[in-house]
Structure 1
């Protein structure tokens, strides 16, 4: 650029970048943190972008990573910027004249299949105006981010493959460590946060030795730490990551990894999704040394404070997680008794047969999301690490009329103050003082945790740590501290999951209620 720049210029160690001034903020978009992972770089660890001598134009969002489309009519359906290999970029919102401010790094959700740091629902402006530097990132998704295969493992100096999306997240955090001080962020005060697959990614980052020291706190909203595939071994009846990769290549008619490297990235993403490829981290002994649950319980995760929680009705908008709904209450009870055995009475007392669909949703939400949060919090406490737990149970007229009370991700517009820019099919909360107050309070809690690890909010109760007799912040119309939520829920799920884990061959990932695995020797009709 030859003329005088019309906008804020950040003098990053990696090279200067031109951004935009937007009210009280300076904003830089589409900053590359790694080279485009296409061609020969497809399915290799991210390669940092060389330092630049010229001024980079960071006034517009960069490409999103290749991904399948969201289901038409979904509450999550939204416009995603153009997609392509050159997608390893991040965005920054910083207050003008920022200096040594806490840094909030957001990892988007989307089942590790879709999403982008440019989504309007998680725009960082409102959080940044609270006095922090906000960063949102892109990372490789779907087959591009999580394919494991024997040939890829053979190419690797470490003998591993998969986890490329997780490596991208680590590379983005490394970029933040090196560069964020240039826009007033404190690299020693970074919080990594995410929802859904973003929260799963946060759990992975807590487990990954390569991420150690890159962040000081963690926030996980509606994530899970169920079992992960192992790279080379079939454990928990899940098959190995490499075997899943071999099946995918066969399904795509690919003769080699190099054949897939020559294919169009977006077409490859669509084809892998159509073939049923399930993106997930793999336990490779290096990036993920062991099962996340094992690492949490043995104190081998990053020794940082954790804020985690889940929502009242996670499953209605996540149809792929809904257990099969039997034709009648009697059939529901028959299946539950056959699959849960001596746990069936406790299960049916909590998830009764009179409404199999709603009970199935509740069981899946508790087991996948509620159990995860409590398991993580209990592990944190057992290892002397702080944990704060919330339960989001807030409803409003349009969501409740559609039977979507506190659905999966419903807390996001309250965290980011973005209800008016949520996706078209998203139930909109009314523009009332009560809604504005709850949005302010939730934003205050998250910002305070990012600042110093103690979530506080003006005009709201102090949020005790979970170590304080199992304290949970129950966020309904207003937050209340509770210690009597869900008696017996965690214990029931843990006992069921522990039995399955003990076999070493029984799946316990996603499978709950009528989807629970049949006991050995059970009649196929059960």
Structure 2
């Protein structure tokens, strides 16, 4: 990879004269490089050397979506002539002002609309290395690629080129409106954050070889809303061919709005946009573009705007359940799973516990009808709190994970299912056994980089073994589509007897995850879809009455 080092050599030959402009290998610079320099399509970037790695931060992959570019598909970034510093993370995308800090809260400042950047971690000697693209979570409202827990160093030291990306979120990323659709050649609007992710993947195709990565071996990966984004990308024709494997951690295949028609109890996305403009006291998109981005984002959150991709027939052709059900998804190997304690840290998604067991059972029988006996077998009234947590967990994450594993197997692709059921002292003491996202520092090897309120993971032998195992499984899957970890259990495909890997005290292969769980929630989803009802976290005690 001599193209990385050629500018530094040129500077040395010039005696490090600050005024000298040196041309070498088609790349120019006006000052000596103190780190690795790579020439990409838009110009040259200078990163940092970090113990056998070359790290580049804050590289723009698309033009800043401000002014008239707000609520438009991403466009090419303007080229630059001088070497651009890529040693600091770019701004986080605009997100709601935090009012109630949680274990997930961290300082994401500064933020701005000029946020479409990505970061690269590459081994010094990388050549045709597998590429791992991380899409952060945050309910499509919040989050950033500069979150310290997503540091790609440990994965890069296993031979991957790691990329993490920012994308537009909230009302700036997912607002639809008839006037915006009229501006589009395709007559659609609303999926700008998803299109940002596609643009980042196109940047990878165009540039990653310069960092030693193989553009023909790209794995997309994400957790929570990042996992949902992986599903959107698997379903979107715009992303076809831009990746070759997928990892979906705690993804959720819930219903989403349609662009131009009311469906599943939700107004059309364009209608939601009209209502938001009216509540913001403006009459058109020009007026919305004039509102300060932070004020608009905060106001939309207060007004209850929900950022989801819209089914528009173009970027997102159908509901996810239909795309995967009709075998239209990307035909790629998939690693997918969820955590046993998902809802312990997301209690706002769970309904309150009823007064007594009789009230619980009565509500379930009223809502689930002929499915109630099976529901109460899986989620009994003997421990209503745990049953309510498990119901919401399974309807969102468990059912989704198994449905995805089944769907990829049905099109002849390898799929690997997991359940993260690993607890550690600080989390268990806080009642947060295997909580939502708790697998992330194990996957990234970032015990020392979790958010301030996160239950701290001590680097004890038991924990480092689990992290080493998960790093091994994840990196080998990105390398060749087969998850393997040295000294750990072989991970069979889901199609081999409904096998899955349970990450408990140690990785262990088991079969038939939570028997009956998938079938119950699949049956409920099918009935809801036929009755034009939404399917998301409105389950159990707050489920609509299901038709037979």
If the TM-score is normalised by the length of the shorter chain, which range does it land in?
A: over 0.9
- The equivalent residue for 1:265 is 293
- Measured after TM superposition, the shift of residue 22 of structure 1 is 1.1
- Measured after TM superposition, the shift of residue 13 of structure 1 is 2.5
- The equivalent residue for 1:508 is 535
Residue deviations 1:435-477 (CA, integer Å, cap 9, x gap): 1111001000000000000000001011011111111001101
| Aligned equivalents of 2:162, 2:541: Cα separation in 1 | 42
- The equivalent residue for 2:93 is 65
- Measured after TM superposition, the shift of residue 71 of structure 1 is 5.2
Matched, 1:494 2:522: yes
Q: TM-score, normalised by structure 1?
A: 0.97
- The equivalent residue for 1:329 is 357
Residue deviations 1:359-385 (CA, integer Å, cap 9, x gap): 111001011100001111111111111
- The equivalent residue for 1:524 is none
- The equivalent residue for 1:361 is 389
- The equivalent residue for 1:517 is 544
| Aligned equivalents of 1:272, 1:121: Cα separation in 2 | 28
| Aligned equivalents of 2:149, 2:223: Cα separation in 1 | 12
> 1:81 aligned to 109, 119, 122, which one?
109
> 2:202 aligned to 148, 171, 174, which one?
174
- The equivalent residue for 2:453 is 425
**Structure-to-structure mapping, 1:70-469, within 5 angstroms:** 70=98, 72-469=100-497
- Measured after TM superposition, the shift of residue 3 of structure 1 is 2.3
| 8 Å contact kept, 1:70–1:76 | no
| 8 Å contact kept, 1:324–1:515 | no
| Aligned equivalents of 1:477, 1:519: Cα separation in 2 | 39
SS in 2 for 1:282: coil
| 8 Å contact kept, 1:9–1:17 | yes
SS in 2 for 1:310: strand
| Aligned equivalents of 2:180, 2:101: Cα separation in 1 | 37
- RMSD value over aligned CA atoms? 1.3
Q: TM-score, normalised by structure 2?
A: 0.93
Are the structure 2 counterparts of residues 167 and 448 from structure 1 closer, same or farther at C-alpha, using a change threshold of 3 Å?
Answer: same
Residue deviations 1:288-347 (CA, integer Å, cap 9, x gap): 011111111211111111110000011121233212432322222221111111111111
Are the structure 2 counterparts of residues 40 and 73 from structure 1 closer, same or farther at C-alpha, using a change threshold of 3 Å?
Answer: closer
| 8 Å contact kept, 2:44–2:83 | yes
SS in 2 for 1:189: strand
| Aligned equivalents of 2:74, 2:342: Cα separation in 1 | 33
| Aligned equivalents of 1:262, 1:70: Cα separation in 2 | 23
| 8 Å contact kept, 1:69–1:114 | no
| Aligned equivalents of 2:459, 2:312: Cα separation in 1 | 49
SS in 1 for 2:426: helix
| Aligned equivalents of 2:144, 2:186: Cα separation in 1 | 29
| Aligned equivalents of 1:287, 1:520: Cα separation in 2 | 32
| Aligned equivalents of 1:121, 1:372: Cα separation in 2 | 25
| Aligned equivalents of 1:361, 1:320: Cα separation in 2 | 10
Are the structure 2 counterparts of residues 477 and 299 from structure 1 closer, same or farther at C-alpha, using a change threshold of 3 Å?
Answer: same
| 8 Å contact kept, 2:447–2:459 | no
- Measured after TM superposition, the shift of residue 431 of structure 1 is 2.3
SS in 1 for 2:468: helix
SS in 1 for 2:342: coil
| Aligned equivalents of 1:355, 1:253: Cα separation in 2 | 48
SS in 2 for 1:98: coil
| 8 Å contact kept, 2:343–2:392 | yes
| 8 Å contact kept, 2:498–2:513 | no
| 8 Å contact kept, 2:254–2:396 | yes
SS in 2 for 1:430: coil
SS in 2 for 1:105: strand
Of 287-296 and 134-143, deviating more is: 287-296
Are the structure 2 counterparts of residues 337 and 32 from structure 1 closer, same or farther at C-alpha, using a change threshold of 3 Å?
Answer: same
Of 314-323 and 368-377, deviating more is: 314-323
| 8 Å contact kept, 2:264–2:534 | yes
| Aligned equivalents of 1:517, 1:507: Cα separation in 2 | 9
Residue deviations 1:387-431 (CA, integer Å, cap 9, x gap): 111100000111111110000001000000111110111111222
- Measured after TM superposition, the shift of residue 434 of structure 1 is 1.3
| Aligned equivalents of 1:449, 1:478: Cα separation in 2 | 19
| Aligned equivalents of 1:519, 1:453: Cα separation in 2 | 40
- Measured after TM superposition, the shift of residue 520 of structure 1 is 7.2
| 8 Å contact kept, 2:395–2:536 | no
| Aligned equivalents of 2:207, 2:526: Cα separation in 1 | 44
In structure 1, stretches of 5+ residues that fail to align are 522-526
Matched, 1:51 2:61: no
| Aligned equivalents of 1:485, 1:508: Cα separation in 2 | 22
SS in 2 for 1:229: coil
| Aligned equivalents of 2:419, 2:254: Cα separation in 1 | 19
